[in-house]
Structure 1
């Protein structure tokens, strides 16, 4: 006869295996998007509830970064790093757009608290994150994966980041922008 205490380690391992299988078995559009593809178009409200479309940025370099949630440690680190390097990004003719499934109001508070000088877009339905393959949907919880894209002035994907380290990401982006723009 087994008691719950004896089965608990097995159940925890089983739950972990199932969770990892869900996370890593998802095939997404990010798996099919590749450098050179036309970036999926979108229109989303920013933190002032003003709709912004990707098409409006045609002619400029765009750093489109998806992140899980406002006010979480990694997301705050990444956003503040973009903020702290905004002049370098502007000097490279790049616009920064952050996207998560948070609401306009959540973005408004997050941007104000951290003095973010770029737009945060509210993808509350997760449709844009899904188009870019950056949506993690476990049915009980949904959020944007930490994926980023550099989009060239013609609207094509120039660089894809599927594994992002919040602490170092902006340095990578700045270096890659310089390389891409020198071609």
Structure 2
């Protein structure tokens, strides 16, 4: 089980445009990684749109947001275009990264991400872990916690 101040598990995943991303791409900046079950479902759309609507606030505090699910890149492309998602969505179809973060649910052949989030500090360490997330309220919760973590007034 992951803990605060532990190094965040590395990832190497493709985004909606088939570009490769890895944790080191976000070194020296704050990062929110949020895991979500499925593109184009009500709760996941609500969460993504709240993060989208707060994207300027995340940019103001120099924080990148990355969403990860077990959906493929094509599904992410459709979802991000349909909802005008300005941040990166990464495809983890095998669920390996989701499992490394303790965010994978498996039931026989069915697997999807649990709604978990992590704040990663500029050194690549886990600064905050969220195992219970309310889709409509989580974006504001992340912003408040980032301001505390970054010691912003």
Which of 83, 87, 96 is matched with 1:114 structurally?
83
Tell which structure's C-alpha radius of gyration is larger.
1
Residues 1-183 of structure 1 mapped to structure 2, 5 A cutoff: 32-182=1-151
- State the Cα deviation string for residues 23-74 of structure 1 (Å, max 9, x = none): xxxxxxxxx2011000000110000000011111000100000000000000
Hey, which bits of structure 1, 4+ residues long, moved more than 4 A? none
Q: CA RMSD in A?
A: 0.8
SS of 2:66 mapped into structure 1? strand
| Alignment length (residue pairs) | 152
What TM-score results when the alignment is normalised by the length of structure 2? 0.98
Superposition deviation, residue 140 in structure 1: 3.6
5+ residue gaps in structure 2?
Answer: none
Q: Deviations over 1:82-113 (max 9, x none)?
A: 10000000101100000000010000000000
Higher relative contact order (CA 8 A, sep 6+): 2
Higher strand share: 2
TM-score (norm 1): 0.82
